[in-house]
Structures are given as C-alpha cells and as structure tokens.
Structure 1
Amino acid sequence: MAVGKMAETLQAPLATDTAPSSSAQEKCDHSPDVSKLQDPEAATLEKSVSTEPLQPEPPFPEGGLQAWLVVFGAWAGLFAGLGITNTIAVFQSYISTHQLADYSESSIGWIFSLYTFLAFFCGIYIGPIFDKYGPRWLIAAGVVCVVAAQMLFSICTEYWHFILVFGVLNGTGCSLLFTPCLASVGHFFRERRGFATGLASAGGSIGGIVAPLMLNSLFSNPSLGWGWGIRIYGFLCLGLLSLALIFVRSRLPPKENASIHPDPKIFKQKPFLYTTIAVFLMEFALFIPIGYISSYARAQGFSESFSFYILTIMNAGSFFGRVLPGWYADRIGAFNTNTIATFISIIACFVIWLPFGHTKPGIIVFAIVIGIAGGTNISITPVCISRLCPTESYGRYYATCFSVVSIACLIGIPIGGSIISACDGDYWALIVFTGILYVLSFVMFLVAKSASVGWRLLAVY
C-alpha cells in the first residue's frame, strides 16, 4: 500500500508538469489543432509533418522603447527596400523611353521581374538564417548590396547592365532586408502584431511616395539628370539603412539545432499550403498595377509628369492601407482582413479601372483604392503567416511562402507586357487578367481560413 501511494504521489506532479495549460495553448501560435481531424490516419499524418512542437511561447513585450525602436528601424529599412519595389513603374517608364527605347515593354519587364523574384526568392535561405543567427549581419550585407546597386544603376546604359545591377544585385540586397525587418517585429508583438507590422511596412509606402516625386524633380533638372538623381537616392537609402542596422534586432534566443536549410515539409500543412497559393495569386495581380500604372497613364495620353504622380497617389493610398488595417486586423482577424482587401481589389479592377481608367478621375480613384487594398495585403500577409507557426520559426515560414510567391513576381510583369503587345498596346485584357487573378486569390483565402476554423465566415481569424 505504501509503495502504491508513493507511486501515485510521484506520478501526479509529473502529469501536472507535462500537460500545458489551456490558457497557454490559446496564446501559442501553432499549426491547426490536430483534435479537429476526425480521421485517425489524418491525425497521424498531421503529427508526422508538423515541424514544430506545440509549446507555449514566452510573454511578448507588446511595446516598450526597445520594441518600438525595432519597429522604427524596420520602417527605415523598408522605406529604402520596399520604396525601391514601389517605384519600379517610374524606373520602367523612364528607361523605356531613354536608355532602352529600342526594347519592347516585355523585354524591359524582365529586368524588374528578376528584381522582384530575387527580392523574395532568396528569402528561402535568409529566413532560416535569421531564425538561427538573428538580423544584424543579414541587414549589413543588404546595406552594401542595395547602396552599391544604386550607384552602379546610375551609370547603366546597356540591357545586360540593368539585368545584373538592378535585377540581380539590387534584388538580392533587398531580399537581405525584407525578412529580417518584418520577422524582427514579430519577436516583440503578438496581440498587436498586425498594428506593429503595418507601421513598419508603411515605410515602403512612404518610400513609394517620396521616391517618384524626388526622382521626377531630379531627372528634370538639367544639371543632375538620371545619373545624379539615382546617386542622390542611393545616399538617401544609405542613411535609412544605417538606421535599420542600428535598431533592428531579434528578441527570442536562436532555436536549438535549427537548420539554415528550407523545409518543404511544411507545405503538408494545408492551411499554410492554401495561404501560399492565395498570396501567390494576390502578388501576381498586385505587381501588374505597380509595374504598369505609369505606362498605362502615358498610353492614355497623360503627361510623363502625371504618370509619375499617379504612382505617388497609389503609394499614398497604400500608406493608409498598411497602417489602419493593421489596427483592426488585431480585432477581426488577419485572414478576414486580407480577404476583404482582396475583394476590394476585385471591385477596383472591374468597376473602376476597366470602364473609367482612361479618364483622369477614374485612374486617380483606381490608384487610391488599389493602393489601400494592396497596402493591406502587403502588411497583413506576414501576420497571416505568423498565425500558422511558432514565432521562433516565423522567418522560415515567411521565407518559404515568399520563395514560391517570387515566381509570380518573376513572370507577372513580362506576362503583362506580352498581353499588352498581343492587344496592340491596349490594356483592357491586362485589366481583366488582373481582376481574374484577384478573384482566384479571394477564393483561396477563404479556403485557407476554412482549413483552420471551418466554413465559419464570421469567425475571427
């Protein structure tokens, strides 16, 4: 009897220590609950492919000086990095009428598609490296690549110059910035992650507002022109990226035995797979107006100056789309917010751009609406991904998703150029194509949500 009581006494605390509390489980980011799977074999499969243990995460600061300095540093880094991405329409419009005037829109589009492809695809290794070693050396390498690319960009004259400098060097440099800046914010915020990520990613919108205005003024100055205009912008990037290097840091310790190699097994988790497909289609659609809205404005007979300003208007809308939805995404759910934004993009394409884009009020309204919706997609997508994994593996999941999405960035602009050429310079088919991509993305966001919480449309997720 005594031995039996002693055994019970020893076993009781063991059970208490190993069973996580329900409140801790609710606060933990992880893959969908296995208990929801009715089929025992499916449950076994889910357990076998899950790459992360379901363990409670430590408390998040949710604020404080260090946390907000990380947000500020990420804002500065994305001002320079995403600011370049949001200005590719200006670069494409300029070089297509100057240095590369003899090349087709589709050929020139490959320069910027290669840039966006590498900016996201290289993250397939950068994300795991961030999880293992932190952001400091990644950002330092990014600073060197981006600033060097801007200086070399200013003296490019041949097609292959632009491919190597803007496409390869600049794309790789921006990739070294994106994942560390966004993932570091997630280390300090969980309940307010949408709002904090929105503030950080708003730097890209501000960059997209400042750069076209700045470059238009510099390019039109006879004493400066293209060369010094790009160099001055490069010095601005150097100052901003120095702030990112100083302030962006991670909080969680490196994961034990973490690998720097990508893990394709996480695609066996259905919510993550469906989310990746939805983001792929959304980014495919989004980069078409980003890449062609300036050329579209010129094709409709508007001045070159207005074609620069319309991109600024779109990025101004993107600023509000990144900041405000981040606040209510923390309340109604990141997936719900992204789904709503994608639906608004469908309306923008079929109800505004297609019938009224040839008019000045029409293209301005479209730029504002698609800017708001696209800004929401850009800022909330990382939050959606973070809901599917533990925070210490956020870099790996984010980079794995966008390594696939990068293919859409690679083919999007050239396919858009081919559609324009096939329609003898008319843009109506490109607009319809963009709208269809948004429709498919909208459907896949609904499917991704249902894979986690079922077909409960009003569920906060």
Structure 2
Amino acid sequence: MFVTDEKLDGLEELGPKQPSASPTPSLEPDLRDGGLQAWATVFGCFLMQFCGFGYLSSFGVYQDFYTRIYLSNYPPSAISIRWIGALPSFLALSGTLISGPLYDRGWFYHLMVVGALLQSLSLFMLSLAKPGQFYLVFIVQGVLAGIGVGLTYGPSIAVVSQHFSKRRTLVMSLVASGVPCGAIIHPIMLNHLLNGPVGFSRGVLTSAGFVSALLLMACLSMRTRALPTPSGSYRIVARKCSRDVLFILMTAGYVVFRVGFFFPLFYLQLDSVKHGIDVNFSFYSLVILNAASFVGRSTIGIVASHVGVLNLTIISTVVCSALCISMIALSDIGSVIVIAIIYGYFSGVYTAMLVPMVAVLTPDLSELGARMGICFTFAGFGGLVGGPIAGALLSSQYRWLIPSLFSGFISLVGSSLFVVERLIINRRGLAKR
C-alpha cells in the first residue's frame, strides 16, 4: 500500500469535505490558530514572498528592456537560453532541497537572514552592470538572486504551519499572495525607473533599497514554534516519497506543467510591444496579470476546503494551458487584457496550492521541509528548460505561433497527471467525499 491510513486527514483537503461518521482525531490538538506572534509571522512571510518570487516574477520587464536596449546584441532566445530569466526560478525552487531539511532542523532564522542578504546584495550589484555586460547580469540576477530566494521561499511559507492548523491552507494562500502583490508593485516601479529619466543604474539601486528595507522588516517579524524532531534523514524521507504514488504523480505533474507555465509571464509584455500595441499600455500588461494573480491567491484559500486542493490544481492548470495557446490570438489591447486577467487569476490559484498540496500529502509535518525540497527541486527543472525552449522557438523573427502551441500543450500534459492522481484517490476512497 503506497498511502497509509495516517494520510487520510490530510487527503481530505484534496477533495470536497463531507461529514464523517467517525471523525479523525487531529494530528495537532494543541496547536492554536492565530495570536499576535502568529499573524506577525504571516506578515513577515508575506513580505518575504513579496521580495522573493514577487521580484523574480517581474523579469518580464527586464526581458523587454534587455531585448530592446541593454542587451540588444543578444536575441530573445539567448537571454532565456543563458538563463537570466529561467535560472533564478529554478534555483529558487531547487534551493528548497537544502533549505527544506535545514528548516526541519531549526535553522529557520539563519536561512532567512542569509537569503535576505543575498537578495539585497544581488540587486545592489546589478545596478553596477553596464550595457552589454551579459555575464555580470547573469551572475548577479541569475545565480545570486536565485540562491537567495531559494533559501527563503519554502521555509517562509512552511513556517506558518507551526502557527495554524484548521486555517492552514487559507493562511498559506494569503502568504503566497505576496508573490503577485510584489509582481504588481515591482513592474510598475521598474518600468518607470528603467524606461524613464532615472535610467538603469539608479533605477535598480532605488529598487534595491526598497527591497532591502522590506526584507529587514520581514526578518524582524517572523517567529517559529517548536516542531517535532525530524523523524529521519533525507534518505529515509526520499525512500518514503519514492514509494508514494500520489507524491510521484504530483511532482511529475509540476515538472511537466512548469515547462510551459512561464511563457506568458516572461513574454506577454514583449509580445504586446512587438504587436504594435501602445508601449505605455504594454508596460502595464504584467501589472494586470499579476493583479489578477493576487486576487486568485488571496481568495482561493477560502474555497479550498470546499472544492479541494487537488481539484483546484486541476482546474487552474487546465485553464493556464489553454491561455498559453490563446496567446496566438494576441493582437490588440482587448486581447492582452483578457489573457492577462484570466491567466493571472488561474496562475495565482495554481501557485497558491503548491505548498498546501505538499502539506496535505505529508502525514508527518517534521518531514514537510524535506518533501518540499524534493518536490520543488524536480519542479524547478521544468521552469529551467521551459523558458529557453520557448525563447529558441520564438527566434529573432518573433514567431509566436510555435512557442505558444508548445507551451500550451506541454502544460496540458502536466495537467493530465493531476487528473490521474484524482482518479487514483477516488478509486482507493482516500478522500472523504
């Protein structure tokens, strides 16, 4: 049996809950939801997401700026193939392979401080880059920032599980909404700074000061509670995961889906500009997308307990796949708005369910960090190869048909794996319906 009865309590969140004749006892009877320390931690974790993946999600602004101005001697495929955009997202996810076990062993504060310092340092160093200095941009924006976010991303969401039990999915989705909130604010600021009279160097320097101040506030706000001692080594947890069919399907689904997931995030603004749409409006295309994502992430936790984490993942990934294909039809302001709003909302739903999905499939919370590390490391490879492949298919002639079809259909394959997982759960009667 791949999934034991001890997982039933968590698996209830994978599908709609119905009253049970014999209630399952709580795994954490002494865990009190809320309190000043708990909500201060939520605020700090929100800021970490705002400055971490929230900033990485604004790479579409840099993609557009580098392609047209700063690195104009490199085609768009080179910018992605050489990983300025794809590498940070990969390192941010795969970094949980290290930060996850360290979090399980009580190194939370160390991870937050070191990760925040690396993120801040990367932006200050990026402000020193000159036009054409590709490798400096690659090192500081691709490598240094990715490692910094990787140390903070997973633990800054997982730590709220120490403070909340019944409202855990809701609170995790609120924390995750820091990403689209950051992806709204950062693009607006960067577009005005980079493309205005301030210029690249002073613009990035201003952004670095803003982010550093928020990271300091985050580090001062977050607190931990004692968790059970880790039940085993990484090898033991990995062995458990290798025998868990549901965990394998979830991880494989994330890997394949993320190959196409970042295409609209990286290329929507550039696509708008290249189709002759007003540049000033195109600058706000990512803002619209991320505003819709913020709504999706911050509200979906309310219905997650009724609809189910897995069901929401299936719905959101299918819609996102269809929207990737629909970028073929982008031609005017109306089409940009429609794509940005719908894709933004459902991409926010998908992202908000990432950690809750791992959490409900983790019977022992002392293994949560390690399981996130394993799952997100594999998932990171999807984003790492997806951006470069899409950029290569786009080519210097900006042929949007092939990369749109590729991103959409490969994402749809990932969605189908979540459907298979749903069928297995239904067949085994693991989710109380």
Counterpart CA distance in 2 for 1:25 and 1:430 is 40
State the Cα distance separating 1:190 from its structure 2 match.
3.0
Q: 1:144 to 1:455 in 2, by over 3 A?
A: same
Letter in 2 for 1:93: D
**1:420 matched residue in structure 2:** 394
Counterpart CA distance in 1 for 2:33 and 2:9 is 13
The answer to whether the 8 A contact 1:132-1:254 is kept is no
Gaps of at least 5 residues in structure 2 are 15-24
Letter in 2 for 1:67: A
Counterpart CA distance in 2 for 1:305 and 1:83 is 22
**2:205 matched residue in structure 1:** 231
Instruction: Say which of 57, 62, 69 aligns to 1:86.
Output: 57
* 1:268 equivalenced with 2:239 (yes/no): no
* 1:432 equivalenced with 2:405 (yes/no): yes
**1:161 matched residue in structure 2:** 136
Q: How many residues align?
A: 413
Q: How does 1:200-349 map to 2 (within 5 A)?
A: 200-222=175-197, 224-256=198-230, 258-259=232-233, 263-265=237-239, 266-349=241-324
Identity %: 27
**1:400 matched residue in structure 2:** 374
The answer to whether the 8 A contact 1:213-1:312 is kept is yes
The answer to whether the 8 A contact 1:134-1:250 is kept is no
Structure 2 length as normaliser, TM-score? 0.89
Rg larger for: 1
Q: 1:140 to 1:347 in 2, by over 3 A?
A: same
* 1:443 equivalenced with 2:398 (yes/no): no
Deviations 1:66-109 (A, max 9, x none): 22211111101111001112101101111222221101111111
State the Cα distance separating 1:412 from its structure 2 match.
1.1
The answer to whether the 8 A contact 1:270-1:451 is kept is no
Counterpart CA distance in 2 for 1:370 and 1:455 is 33
Instruction: Say which of 59, 64, 80 aligns to 2:35.
Output: 64
The answer to whether the 8 A contact 2:104-2:366 is kept is yes
* 1:198 equivalenced with 2:169 (yes/no): no
Counterpart CA distance in 2 for 1:347 and 1:76 is 31
**1:181 matched residue in structure 2:** 156
The SS at the match of 2:395 is: helix
Counterpart CA distance in 2 for 1:27 and 1:270 is 17
The answer to whether the 8 A contact 2:55-2:183 is kept is yes
* 1:143 equivalenced with 2:103 (yes/no): no
Counterpart CA distance in 2 for 1:378 and 1:96 is 28
The answer to whether the 8 A contact 2:127-2:201 is kept is yes
**1:369 matched residue in structure 2:** 342
**2:96 matched residue in structure 1:** 123
Counterpart CA distance in 2 for 1:230 and 1:405 is 29
The answer to whether the 8 A contact 1:134-1:249 is kept is no
The SS at the match of 2:284 is: helix
The SS at the match of 1:96 is: helix
Gaps of at least 5 residues in structure 1 are 1-21, 33-53
Counterpart CA distance in 2 for 1:299 and 1:179 is 36
Letter in 2 for 1:216: N
Structure possessing the higher relative contact order (Cα contacts under 8 Å, 6 or more residues apart)? 2
State the Cα distance separating 1:283 from its structure 2 match.
2.0
State the Cα distance separating 1:26 from its structure 2 match.
5.6
Counterpart CA distance in 1 for 2:178 and 2:219 is 15
State the Cα distance separating 1:455 from its structure 2 match.
7.6
The SS at the match of 2:52 is: helix
The answer to whether the 8 A contact 1:271-1:449 is kept is no
State the Cα distance separating 1:119 from its structure 2 match.
1.2
Letter in 2 for 1:238: S
State the Cα distance separating 1:58 from its structure 2 match.
4.3
State the Cα distance separating 1:456 from its structure 2 match.
7.5
Structure 1 length as normaliser, TM-score? 0.84
**1:73 matched residue in structure 2:** 44
Counterpart CA distance in 2 for 1:168 and 1:139 is 18
**1:108 matched residue in structure 2:** 79
Q: 1:343 to 1:28 in 2, by over 3 A?
A: closer
Counterpart CA distance in 1 for 2:236 and 2:343 is 33
State the Cα distance separating 1:452 from its structure 2 match.
3.2
The answer to whether the 8 A contact 1:349-1:431 is kept is yes
Deviations 1:299-351 (A, max 9, x none): 2112433222100000001001101111101222100111111222234334x
Letter in 2 for 1:213: I
* 1:409 equivalenced with 2:383 (yes/no): yes
